[in-house]
Structure 1
């Protein structure tokens, strides 16, 4: 994974921060005091900062030096930020929560990562939290009707610029997880996205929050799919 787009993409200021906060808020609802959390691909640590507000310890892994430095600079309590590729990260401990938010779509071998999470990182009874772009998000369906995308899962120019390898839906994610020995126990959408990021950025934050809440009424069409997995029998 040699892609480094940190010079042209700031996760703290881009509209994507709304997805990060919405997803991180969902994930931390499952935390219990004293839990150990592994976050794979923490970028600048925005989601990590939400986790640090709970009584948990966090190992956050980030391969990009600029993002790693930004995450370190937050000085988050009970958080260790590791500068390494997730393929090279190892730990003697097991984690009650392993978070892979918006990373499996950047990997040539997402199945391999899910297998490694189950075999090397997940504690007995632990939860794996995965989020990724939903190809059936409203904005992608609109783009398809306008002739801007050939298919829901087609890569956009922005996606290519941000190292997206493939876009796959929640059902495909569940199938990959099953192959890796993981069972889905919860799935929900994140933020209903009728317009592009640039267009949504013109709206007040209260409207964005409303679009996130209303996403539960359209579970197949959120901007992201968020799923939780446990080790299968």
Structure 2
């Protein structure tokens, strides 16, 4: 995998393009709620670190569970947006995960749809394991799934060359890789972490832009969304997102 040596413009990567939004209504209104629901059983008492917060939409959901919440974000524009809406409730730190210095360790580290944007994902996972997780802490790691039926259909339609391809639109938004369960677990282990649970979130056969259009109609009911969420637990490899729960290596596991 090769990348340009040009410095990254994290503010530009957050901008919508004519072909692709950075965050769809499907992400914000549907997936975020189901992610939190998937996380609840694994939250540990104590503090929380969110790595990559965009403009704070998922952060607001985390505030219902944690009084002590720290967010690290590389985009200055995103930090400004968060400070306008979440001022006083969250400690916002502007910096890259590769270089930032954090003041403490965390009982919960949340990394949702961020790892695929990183130039050195294994290096950041190693920092989480070595520097940021407490001994009984948990990393909750979620990435878009290369094997989602929507991507498999796109391959059969000739829209993308293969399921793990990074499209031009995704590349403009800073994507570096498209993970599947096996490659995500590979990188977690390479970063020194132990994977204690793996699943998928939300069975998904339609692209995000198709979901956005359907959500504006009465075709999709809450019951249908619930069915897709539950079916995703039966077929994790066919989900919109894949989800790993990780702990520091060498630490005895307690439920």
How far apart are residue 138 of structure 1 and its match?
0.5
Bigger proportion of residues as strand: 1
Q: Using structure 1 for the length normalisation, give the TM-score.
A: 0.90
Q: Residues 48 and 66 of structure 2 are in contact (CA less than 8 Å); yes or no, is this contact kept in structure 1? A: no
Deviation at 1:32, TM superposition (A): 4.1
**Equivalent of residue 175 in structure 1, options 180, 186, 197:** 186
Pairing 1:215–2:232 present: yes
Match of 1:7 among 1, 15, 18: 15
Question: Hey, what's the Cα distance between the residues in 2 that align with 1:127 and 1:169?
Answer: 21
Tell me the distance in 1 between the aligned counterparts of 2:110 and 2:181: 16
* Runs of 4+ with deviation above 3 angstroms: 207-210
Find the partner of 1:54 among 40, 60, 65: 65
The answer to whether the aligner puts 1:65 opposite 2:76 as a matched pair is: yes
Q: Give the alignment of 1:149-168 within 5 angstroms.
A: 149-168=160-179
Q: Quick one: distance in 1 between partners of 2:100 and 2:160?
A: 36
Match of 2:253 in 1: none
Contact 2:116 2:176 in 1 (8 A): yes
In structure 2, how many angstroms separate the alpha carbons of the residues matched to 1:103 and 1:223?
15
Q: Is the 8 A contact 1:28 1:51 kept in 2?
A: no
Matches within 5 A, 1:77-226: 78-201=89-212, 202-203=214-215, 204=220, 206=222, 207-226=224-243
Determine the C-alpha separation between the residues in 2 that align with 1:194 and 1:27: 23
Secondary structure of 1:26's counterpart equals helix
* 1:22 matches 2:34: yes
Structure 2 unaligned runs (5+)? 1-7, 251-255
In structure 1, runs of 5+ residues without a counterpart are none
- How far apart in 2 are the matches of 1:28 and 1:77? 24
Number of residue-to-residue matches in the alignment = 231
Deviates more, 1:89-98 or 1:18-27: 18-27
Q: Give 3-state SS (helix, strand or coil) of 2:101's partner.
A: coil
Report the Cα distance in structure 2 between the residues aligned to 1:124 and 1:145, rounded to whole angstroms. 45
Work out whether residues 47 and 66 of structure 2, in 8 Å CA contact, stay in contact via their aligned partners in 1.
no
**TM-score, scaled to structure 2:** 0.83
Q: Distance in 2 between matches of 1:194 and 1:156?
A: 18
| CA RMSD, Structure 1 to Structure 2 (Å) | 2.0
Moved more, 135-144 or 16-25: 16-25
Structure with more of its chain in helix, by fraction: 2
Instruction: Identify the match of residue 38 of structure 1 among 49, 56, 63.
Output: 49
CA distance in 1, matches of 2:111, 2:242: 12
